[in-house]
Amino acid sequence: MAPPTPFPTPNPTADGSNALPYKWNDVTSKLGLTSATDLSNFILNPIFLAHWTVLRDHMPLTPGTPVNITSLDDKADLRAFTFAIYTAMDSMATSKYDRPTSADQKSWTRIEHVECLVYRAARDFAQPNHLFHLAFERPELKNEPGHKDALSRIRGLAMLAYNLIVNYTLMPPSNVVRKIEAVKPASQPRLSPLPEVRRRWELEHMDVGDLRKTVLDRHRKDEDEREWLIKIFMEDVKDDVGATLVVKEDGDVIVEVEEGAQVGGVKRKFGEGEESEEI
């Protein structure tokens, strides 16, 4: 049996197309990788992870909200996107993506967030002894194959970013998404791709009365609330013949019974001279 893939393979949509913009195999190939394991390790690499989580938190990505980026959908537009990033990397001038401030990022469009991720990740991976170093070496860029490899790596980053955006917003979290969140959780738990994290945030910000009702309703299911509460109490006081509930000044509840009666409860008291007993 083949090992499970760390990446989701969504069911076809109504028009027969997949929910993901690009096939994972194509993304892997464009990045110069050879397997799903390599791609998973690439995503979890601190270089990519740092830039991805900035995009996730500043765009921000919201579960259930589609992020349509037409510049990454169309082949011609993706080619133009790739050349724009390559030109910015090749330029001696400083790009707006080199040292963006938080205020800058708040004013960006979605495509600008993706451009920043791809630009900065490509530059970092192109450093000596890093994954893209050979593809971006100057001697290699002077010939067509070398130029093609560099553009392929940039294109692969754009494809990967768009796939992850869709995975984060419109699909159940994959294994690799869970690993990302384990290492670098979303800065806003209410926007986490993990449903359990979002649910915990909701519960933490709920009024105590509403929280109590939510918890009780979960256990009560469709049963009448009054009958359900009575049943819970009666499970503690199974034999209430001759029993009297007494609320003491300190708030304790005891069940006083005639001698010989068998009663369960929070506390019980047998006849005169015998001490109340905790249950």
Q: Are residues 66 and 144 in the same domain?
A: yes
Domain residues for 255? 237-278
Q: Are residues 30 and 121 in the same domain?
A: yes
pTM: 0.73
The answer to whether residue 232 is domain-embedded is: no
Q: Scan for tokens 């940039």, then name that residue.
A: 154
Q: Are residues 82 and 156 in the same domain?
A: yes
Q: Scan for tokens 């000044």, then name that residue.
A: 249
The answer to whether residue 130 is domain-embedded is: yes
Q: Scan for tokens 């197309």, then name that residue.
A: 17
Q: Are residues 64 and 127 in the same domain?
A: yes
Among residues 183, 245, 213, 225, which one has the least CA distance to residue 56?
183
C-alpha 193/C-alpha 186 separation (Å) is: 8
Work out how many domains the chain is built from and give that number.
2
The answer to whether residue 171 is domain-embedded is: yes
The answer to whether residue 101 is domain-embedded is: yes
Residue 266, burial from CB neighbour count under 10 angstroms (0-12, 13-18, 19+): middle
The answer to whether residue 9 is domain-embedded is: no
Two tokens, residue 104? 């800058």
Q: Are residues 142 and 274 in the same domain?
A: no
The answer to whether residue 145 is domain-embedded is: yes
Q: Are residues 40 and 157 in the same domain?
A: yes
Long-range contact pairs involving 65-72 (C-beta distance under 8 Å, separation at least 24): 65/169, 66/169, 66/170, 67/110, 67/165, 67/166, 67/169, 69/110, 69/111, 69/114, 69/162, 69/165, 71/111, 72/21, 72/111, 72/114, 72/158, 72/159, 72/161, 72/162
Question: pLDDT digit of tens for each residue in the chain (279 aa)?
Answer: 333 345 555 444 433 344 799 999 999 999 999 999 999 999 999 999 999 999 999 999 999 999 988 778 888 899 999 999 999 998 888 899 999 998 999 999 999 999 999 999 999 999 999 999 988 887 766 666 668 899 999 999 999 999 999 999 999 999 999 999 999 999 999 999 999 999 999 999 989 888 888 888 888 888 887 887 777 777 766 655 555 555 566 655 555 655 554 444 444 444 455 454 444
Two tokens, residue 262? 């068998």
Q: Is the peptide bond before 100 cis (omega within 30 degrees of 0)?
A: no
Q: Are residues 138 and 50 in the same domain?
A: yes
Q: Are residues 244 and 182 in the same domain?
A: no
Q: Which of 189, 218, 249 is the last residue of a domain?
A: 189
Among residues 161, 169, 182, 159, which one has the least CA distance to residue 54?
161
Q: Are residues 75 and 145 in the same domain?
A: yes
The answer to whether residue 37 is domain-embedded is: yes
Q: Are residues 141 and 271 in the same domain?
A: no
Q: Are residues 156 and 257 in the same domain?
A: no
Q: Are residues 148 and 54 in the same domain?
A: yes
Amino acid at 109: T
Cα 210 to Cα 213, 225, 254: the distances in Å are 5, 15, 29
